[in-house]
């Protein structure tokens, strides 16, 4: 989704902005732009360059000399108005004095636009953002400082925003504001940065200041001062981020998605370090901020997440029911908040998010909290909005995920759920021996993922065959159903082929009518108490001419129920879905590669969905 970068300091701003925007490309965007201030040129105190397409298109459009040491840049993911140069940010006030980049959505933009138009302002784009430039310019014209002008302008806005604003008459500063969209400052040596995502500035500094909703800040080369609408200064301190440039490089892989799939054995090992408690057969999750006595009082668990995180949430809910024997279910966070949910004090709400910035999930957190519920988070991005707002949580420590299609973060989420289920289980009726059994299972996972990845060649071959089908099914039962849902999601996101998940048991209630030689199925067939039924269902598909790629365990006799077979090592039955998901990541990846698609940046999608 949209990305912001800003620079003020001794360097030329344009190259810093372009490099920052390149690092934000992974978030998904359709156009890009920069504005650079040059106080030395009275004729051209600022230059704005924008381009539809990639950051490299913007780079090509930049003049050879774009002098200036203060600037802002943006990658736009269209919400209001088509992707085009005129809708790309930065937007500029009619008098040319103010330049603005914005992430988020201004809900009352239509009213503001028509008011401005009534006052004779000529609007030059279809965006919601442009109004901000005009509003700030209008306040500046009354003699207000840039800070006061921004504060007064955003007072008229209803919606979410991360804003960075330039005024050609005060070229040594950037004023920023945050409400509901992430924004941080990077602290350098005699230079400062602004970014919506630390990836944009990681090459320059690891010292960042995370702004909160309601914060404003003035940023100059010497530092910053942050304040609120009530004008009082806020004491925001810099923290060190754990992110390196190397983590954002391909490191010999053709795609980030491939790199991230292959990082899993190591990243899972890292995630588990220090979190398994052999002495008591449980997990150590201090960040939950819940003592065993508190945990014991919860009679139900509700998991909330979006997209793939929701599917992992379904897996997590079944782990919690299996291990803790308390009712648990998952719901899309995007739906939850709008149905006036009943929040029960005896329910533990668990939100799950890679980015920690998904607006729907963040609003679900606030809905639970507003109604007095307890909400904990399984979050990957350290210091993200969700991580900061929940009552407690578990960091997933998957490291940065650059590919839009999530893989390793989802595996870490499911392991996070296993740790939570184990913790809840051990304060209920899960025995010490069973706790130790799950711990042993968790310890085996990194090595078992490595085993699955070693079979990549066979998976690539199966994926190539599946890629030619116009449509396909992913089917699984009970614990295997969320695996099928996630498998279908990954496949369709990056191949643009129609892939649909069904509970295997539902096939005969309708979808079987679609089976034909043109519609293959990927069937999740673990060696559990449903194995015979799953094999029968696969045979029913085969009997109607459909091909079946079975993801199964060693020793399962499939006979002619499958046209090809992918094996994953057996773990504990509660943890098996974690491993059964890994081949589906590679199926989606290799099918997209076979089709020549842009694997890391699928069309229409964004890495972190910060709008509702």
Q: Which is nearer to ligand F6R, 202 or 365 (CB)?
A: 365
> Could you tell me if residue 192 is left (phi over 0), alpha (psi between -120 and 50 degrees) or otherwise beta?
beta
Question: In whole angstroms, how close is the CB of 443 to ligand F6R at the nearest point?
Answer: 26
Q: Write the CB contacts of 55 (distance below 8 Å, at least 6 apart in sequence).
A: 18, 21, 22, 25, 32, 75
# residues near ligand F6R by CB under 6 A: 15
Overall residue count recorded for the chain in this entry: 612
Report which secondary-structure segment, H or E, holds 51.
strand 46-52
Q: Which is nearer to ligand F6R, 62 or 605 (CB)?
A: 605
Piece of the chain touching ligand F6R by CB under 6 A; list 172-180, 351-359, 439-447, 459-467: 351-359
Piece of the chain touching ligand F6R by CB under 6 A; list 169-177, 302-310, 369-377, 457-465: 302-310
Is 284 noted as a catalytic residue in this protein? no
CB atoms within 10 A of CB 60: 10
**Which ranges of 428-530 does DSSP label H, i.e. alpha helix?**
432-454, 456-467, 480-495
Of the candidate residues 218, 318, 608, 610, the single one contacting ligand F6R (CB under 6 A): 608
Spot the catalytic one: 259, 302, 408, 607: 607
DSSP-derived 3-state class of residue 535: helix
> Are the CB atoms for 597 and 344 separated by under 8 Å?
no
Pairing of strands 46-52, 70-76: unpaired
Is 607 noted as a catalytic residue in this protein? yes
Of the candidate residues 3, 90, 198, 307, the single one contacting ligand F6R (CB under 6 A): 307
Measure CA 338 to chain center: 21
Q: Which is nearer to ligand F6R, 125 or 495 (CB)?
A: 495
Of the candidate residues 179, 355, 411, 571, the single one contacting ligand F6R (CB under 6 A): 355
Q: Write the CB contacts of 513 (distance below 8 Å, at least 6 apart in sequence).
A: none
Question: In whole angstroms, how close is the CB of 307 to ligand F6R at the nearest point?
Answer: 2
Question: In whole angstroms, how close is the CB of 364 to ligand F6R at the nearest point?
Answer: 11
Of the candidate residues 157, 199, 304, 309, the single one contacting ligand F6R (CB under 6 A): 309
Residues 488-527 that bind ligand F6R (CB under 6 A): 489, 493
DSSP 45: S
Extended beta strands in 387-515, E state: 392-395, 471-476, 498-503
Question: In whole angstroms, how close is the CB of 489 to ligand F6R at the nearest point?
Answer: 6
Q: Which is nearer to ligand F6R, 227 or 363 (CB)?
A: 363
Token output for 243: 């992110």
Question: In whole angstroms, how close is the CB of 249 to ligand F6R at the nearest point?
Answer: 21
Of the candidate residues 353, 423, 495, 521, the single one contacting ligand F6R (CB under 6 A): 353
- The two counts, helices (H) then strands (E), for the chain are 17, 27
Piece of the chain touching ligand F6R by CB under 6 A; list 49-57, 304-312, 498-506, 583-591: 304-312
Tell me the sheet residues that pair with 501. 474
Q: Which is nearer to ligand F6R, 121 or 378 (CB)?
A: 378
Instruction: Please report how many Cα atoms fall inside a 13 Å half-sphere around the Cα of residue 69, on the Cβ side.
Output: 13
Residue 324 binds ligand F6R, judged by CB under 6 A: no
- Give the CB-nearest residue to ligand F6R: 307
Question: In whole angstroms, how close is the CB of 260 to ligand F6R at the nearest point?
Answer: 11
Of the candidate residues 21, 37, 405, 463, the single one contacting ligand F6R (CB under 6 A): 405
Q: Which is nearer to ligand F6R, 140 or 418 (CB)?
A: 418
Residues 202-231 that bind ligand F6R (CB under 6 A): none
Distances (CA, A) of 284 to 118, 289, 368, 411, 574: 61, 11, 25, 19, 19
Token output for 63: 């003049």
Q: Is the dihedral of CA 53, 59, 63, 68 positive or negative?
A: positive
DSSP-derived 3-state class of residue 509: helix
Q: Which is nearer to ligand F6R, 70 or 353 (CB)?
A: 353
Residue 442 binds ligand F6R, judged by CB under 6 A: no
Q: Write the CB contacts of 115 (distance below 8 Å, at least 6 apart in sequence).
A: none
Residue 361 binds ligand F6R, judged by CB under 6 A: yes
Asked, as a colleague might, if the bond just before 573 is cis with ω within 30 of 0, I would say no
Q: Which is nearer to ligand F6R, 134 or 492 (CB)?
A: 492
Token output for 437: 């059994």
- Residues annotated catalytic, as ranges: 2, 607
Q: Which residues bind ligand F6R (CB under 6 A)?
A: 306-309, 353-355, 358, 361, 405-406, 489, 493, 608-609
């Amino acid at each position: 989704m949209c990305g912001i970068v800003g620079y003020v300091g001794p360097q030329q701003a344009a190259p810093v902005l372009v490099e920052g925007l390149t690092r934000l490309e992974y978030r998904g965007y359709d156009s890009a732009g920069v504005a650079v201030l040059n106080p030395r040129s009275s004729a051209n105190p600022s230059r704005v360059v924008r381009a539809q397409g990639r950051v490299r298109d913007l780079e090509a459009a930049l003049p050879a000399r774009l002098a200036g040491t203060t600037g802002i840049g943006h990658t736009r993911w269209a919400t209001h108005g088509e992707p085009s140069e005129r809708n790309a940010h930065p937007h500029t006030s009619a008098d040319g004095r103010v330049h603005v980049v914005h992430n988020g959505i201004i809900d009352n933009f239509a009213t503001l636009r028509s008011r401005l138009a009534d006052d004779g302002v000529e609007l030059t784009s279809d965006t919601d953002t442009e109004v901000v430039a005009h509003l700030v310019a209008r306040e500046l014209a009354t003699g207000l400082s840039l800070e006061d002008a921004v504060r007064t302008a955003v007072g008229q806005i209803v919606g979410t925003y991360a804003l960075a604003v330039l005024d050609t008459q005060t070229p040594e500063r950037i004023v920023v504001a945050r409400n509901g969209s992430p924004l941080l400052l990077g602290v350098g040596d005699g230079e400062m940065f602004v970014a919506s995502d630390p990836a944009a500035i990681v090459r320059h500094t690891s010292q960042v200041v995370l702004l909160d909703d309601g914060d404003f800040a003035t940023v100059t080369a010497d530092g910053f001062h942050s304040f609120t609408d009530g004008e009082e200064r806020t004491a925001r301190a810099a923290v060190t981020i754990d992110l390196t440039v190397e983590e954002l490089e391909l490191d010999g892989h053709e795609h980030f998605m491939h790199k991230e799939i292959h990082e899993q054995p190591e990243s899972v090992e890292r995630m588990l370090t220090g979190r398994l408690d052999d002495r008591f057969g449980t997990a150590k999750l201090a960040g939950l901020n819940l003592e065993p006595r508190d945990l014991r009082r919860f009679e139900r668990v509700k998991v909330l997440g979006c997209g793939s995180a929701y599917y992992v949430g379904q897996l997590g809910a079944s782990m919690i029911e299996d291990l803790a024997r308390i009712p648990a279910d998952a719901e899309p966070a995007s739906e939850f908040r709008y149905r006036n949910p009943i929040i029960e004090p005896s329910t533990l709400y668990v939100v799950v998010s890679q980015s920690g910035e998904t607006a729907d999930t963040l609003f679900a957190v606030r809905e639970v909290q507003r109604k007095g519920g307890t909400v904990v988070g399984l979050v990957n991005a350290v210091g993200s909005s969700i991580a900061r707002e929940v009552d407690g949580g578990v960091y997933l420590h998957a490291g940065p995920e650059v590919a839009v299609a999530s893989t390793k973060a989802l595996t870490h989420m499911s392991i996070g759920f296993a740790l939570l289920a184990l913790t809840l289980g051990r304060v209920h009726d899960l025995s010490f021996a069973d706790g130790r059994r799950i711990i042993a299972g968790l310890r085996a996972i990194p090595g078992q993922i490595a085993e699955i990845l070693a079979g990549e060649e066979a998976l690539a071959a199966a994926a190539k065959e599946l890629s030619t089908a116009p449509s396909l099914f992913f089917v699984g039962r009970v614990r295997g159903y969320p695996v099928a849902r996630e498998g279908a999601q990954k496949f369709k996101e990056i191949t643009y082929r129609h892939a649909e998940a069904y509970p295997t048991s539902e096939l005969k209630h309708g979808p079987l009518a679609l089976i034909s030689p043109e519609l293959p199925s990927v069937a999740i067939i673990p060696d559990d108490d449903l194995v015979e039924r799953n094999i029968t269902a696969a045979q029913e598909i085969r009997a109607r001419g459909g091909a079946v790629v079975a993801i199964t365990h060693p020793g399962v006799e499939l006979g002619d129920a499958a046209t090809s077979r992918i094996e994953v090592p057996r773990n504990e039955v509660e943890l098996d879905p974690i491993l059964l998901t890994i081949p589906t990541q590679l199926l989606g990846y290799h099918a997209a590669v076979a089709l020549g698609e842009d694997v890391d940046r699928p069309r229409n999608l964004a890495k972190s969905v910060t709008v509702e």
